[in-house]
């Protein structure tokens, strides 16, 4: 995947290492998601008191909100190890069997992008989640036999950005289904201040708030913006971040006051200008902006809809009155209306 710029949800390897360094290790240090943290706190404490593996957990929500971080925190709070993998990595049943064969009692087994598990691998995972065993077929044809290998009782934590693609049988095997929501400006400001301390850079509350306001409600993007603003501050402002420094740096990076980047703006201008506000199909938008349809649907659309700029309808995507006003695009008669008018 190409690097999409500072406001983009996509990062490079250095960004991943940077985010890992800022990752909180305890539930009390995790900012936001108050109700979710309360539910996890109770489940973790109950499992510790019983000396048992905690219930399986399914975390879902937009990317960059802390699903992987929470998996690490749960393992740390339980005092156990964590093994990490992802749906696309587990291409064969043998891949899953190999990983589960190394699982220890009560440990955490984390699967990212669980919605991308292949059907036969998913079916094998069912028995591991519910009965703590893995069924292996030995031989072929009439002489084939099934051997069941026991698996220690473990805690599976799965994460997905597309809950609708997780099958009902899979969802039913998780005791806790927890949604992560976008963060408000106050919560993101606290995250920026905490990250700035870890980076040993001073930031005023107004500067932190400006970074938070342009972070699309996402901690990952807030930390990435902080990293770029820190660079600007060290070169142009003696390493100190105030409102003026933050605003100047973010304007230089072409991240607008809502955190919209180049791809967001291309999507909206395609809908508003090229297709007169819509309705227009997702694949048509994707072709126009040279981006994958799945990426637009999973990453960009939810935030544009949250801002009130874009609507999903059965006939396609439509720009709102607020979008026309914000992007300063004059309203024209829609394509459908023109077709009706001219027969």
Estimate to the nearest angstrom the gap between the alpha carbon of 335 and the chain centroid: 35
Which residue among 97, 155, 160, 161 is the active-site one? Answer: 161
Burial class (CB in 10 A: 0-12, 13-18, 19+), 258: middle
Active site residue 161: yes
Phi first, then psi, for residue 326 (nearest 5°) are: -70, -40
State the SS3 of 23-54.
Answer: CCCCHHHCCCCHHHHHHHHHHHHHHHHHCCCC
Which residue among 31, 68, 97, 320 is the active-site one? Answer: 68
Which residue among 31, 69, 112, 218 is the active-site one? Answer: 112
Which residue among 31, 67, 213, 247 is the active-site one? Answer: 67
Contact of 121 with 93, CB cutoff 8 Å: yes
**Number of separate helices (H) and strands (E) present in the chain:** 16, 11
SS3 226: helix
Query: What is the distance between the alpha carbons of residues 81 and 73, in angstroms, rounded to a whole number?
Result: 11
| Segment (H or E) for 202 | strand 202-203
DSSP code string of 235-262: HHSTTEE-HHHHHHHHHHTT--TT---H
Active site residue 313: no
Active site residue 26: no
Which residue among 93, 106, 214, 220 is the active-site one? Answer: 220
Token match 């901690």: residue? 219
Token match 């967001």: residue? 264
Active site positions, annotated: 67-68, 112, 161, 220
């Amino acid at each position: 995947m190409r690097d999409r710029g500072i406001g983009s949800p996509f990062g490079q390897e250095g960004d991943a290492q940077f985010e890992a360094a800022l990752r909180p290790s305890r539930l009390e240090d995790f900012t936001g998601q108050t109700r979710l943290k309360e539910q996890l706190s109770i489940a973790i404490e109950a499992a510790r008191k019983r000396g048992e593996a905690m219930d399986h957990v399914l975390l879902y929500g937009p990317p960059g909100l802390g699903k992987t971080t929470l998996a690490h925190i749960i393992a740390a709070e339980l005092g156990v190890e964590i093994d990490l993998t992802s749906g696309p990595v587990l291409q064969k049943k043998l891949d899953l069997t190999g990983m589960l064969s190394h699982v220890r009692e009560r440990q955490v087994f984390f699967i990212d992008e669980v919605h991308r598990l292949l059907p036969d691998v998913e079916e094998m995972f069912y028995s591991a989640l519910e009965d703590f065993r893995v069924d292996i077929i030995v031989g072929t044809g009439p002489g084939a036999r099934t051997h069941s290998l026991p698996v220690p009782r473990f805690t599976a934590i799965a994460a997905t950005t597309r809950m609708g693609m997780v099958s009902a049988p899979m969802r039913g095997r998780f005791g806790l289904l927890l949604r992560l929501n976008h963060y408000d400006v106050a919560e993101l400001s606290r995250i920026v201040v905490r990250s700035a301390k870890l980076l040993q850079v001073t930031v005023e509350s107004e500067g932190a708030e400006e970074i938070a306001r342009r972070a699309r409600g996402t901690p990952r993007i807030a930390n990435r913006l902080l990293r770029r603003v820190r660079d600007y501050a060290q070169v142009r402002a003696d390493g100190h971040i105030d409102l003026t420094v933050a605003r100047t740096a973010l304007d230089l990076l072409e991240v607008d006051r809502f955190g919209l980047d180049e791809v967001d703006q291309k999507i909206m201008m395609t809908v508003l200008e090229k297709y007169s506000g819509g309705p227009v199909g997702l694949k048509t938008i994707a072709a126009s902006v040279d981006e994958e349809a799945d990426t637009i649907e999973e990453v960009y659309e939810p935030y544009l809809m949250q801002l009130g700029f874009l609507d999903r309808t059965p006939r396609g995507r439509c720009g709102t009155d607020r979008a026309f006003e914000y992007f300063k695009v004059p309203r024209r008669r829609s394509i459908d209306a023109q077709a009706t008018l001219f027969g």
